[in-house]
């Protein structure tokens, strides 16, 4: 879900720490839900939470939901201020849980899959590490794969930082 959303929103926008409000993206998963990246993050949290105790799972999921709710509220306020009626019209799409029928009309953005997979690759590696742990029960291998995920995330951050820095 995150990779699909990143392909349409652009990886450089996804990784930017400043909220951007250039235009409304209503293509791909954004036709079905206003926040597919956060929905994908929640799915990831639920999956990672399965490695926790029951209380840990509920604490992790509740904490993530609270954080995402506040973040979405902040971002939507900025988008409404910057884009006005075009974003207000887009708000017919569900905020967090995807609709099966797309309430938002399609735009003209074409997906860019390679940067999306590069930008979200660390999550794919993290998922693969979880599968390896479940199949092999080898915690040392799991830790090595987690470290590889962290290294990949650092690489993505450095490459993105170099692209944003003035030359």
Query: Quick one: pLDDT band at residue 14, thresholds 50, 70, 90?
Result: low
User: What pLDDT score does 21 carry?
Assistant: 59
3-state secondary structure of 53: coil
User: What pLDDT score does 15 carry?
Assistant: 56
Q: Give the integer Cα–Cα distance in Å for 3 and 115.
A: 9
* Residue range 94-110, pLDDT digits in tens: 888 888 888 777 778 89
Please give the structure tokens belonging to residue 66.
Answer: 């609270």
Q: Which residues, including other chains, have CB under 8 Å from residue 138's CB and lie 6 or more apart?
A: 132
Query: Quick one: pLDDT band at residue 135, thresholds 50, 70, 90?
Result: very high
* Residue range 35-88, pLDDT digits in tens: 999 999 999 899 889 888 999 999 999 999 999 999 999 888 888 888 888 888
- pTM of the shown model: 0.77
Q: Give the integer Cα–Cα distance in Å for 41 and 33.
A: 14
**How many structural domains comprise the chain?**
1
Domain that holds residue 68: 2-164
Higher-pLDDT residue of 11 and 153 is 153
Q: Cβ–Cβ contacts within 10 Å for residue 54, how many?
A: 8
Query: Quick one: pLDDT band at residue 19, thresholds 50, 70, 90?
Result: low
User: What pLDDT score does 140 carry?
Assistant: 94
Q: Is the CB of residue 75 less than 8 Å from the CB of residue 90? A: no
């Amino acid at each position: 879900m995150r990779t699909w959303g990143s392909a349409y929103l652009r990886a450089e926008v996804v990784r930017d720490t400043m909220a951007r409000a250039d235009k409304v993206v209503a293509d791909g998963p954004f036709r079905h839900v206003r926040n597919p990246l956060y929905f994908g993050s929640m799915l990831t949290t639920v999956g990672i939470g399965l490695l926790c105790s029951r209380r840990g799972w509920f604490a992790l999921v509740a904490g993530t939901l609270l954080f995402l709710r506040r973040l979405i509220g902040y971002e939507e306020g900025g988008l409404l201020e910057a884009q006005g009626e075009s974003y207000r019209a887009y708000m017919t799409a569900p905020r967090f849980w995807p609709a099966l029928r797309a309430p938002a009309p399609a735009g003209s953005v074409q997906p860019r899959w390679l940067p999306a997979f590069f930008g979200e690759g660390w999550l794919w590696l993290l998922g693969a590490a979880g599968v390896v742990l479940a199949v092999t029960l080898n915690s040392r291998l799991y830790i090595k794969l987690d470290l590889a995920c962290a290294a990949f995330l650092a690489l993505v951050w450095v490459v993105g930082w170099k692209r944003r820095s003035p030359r």
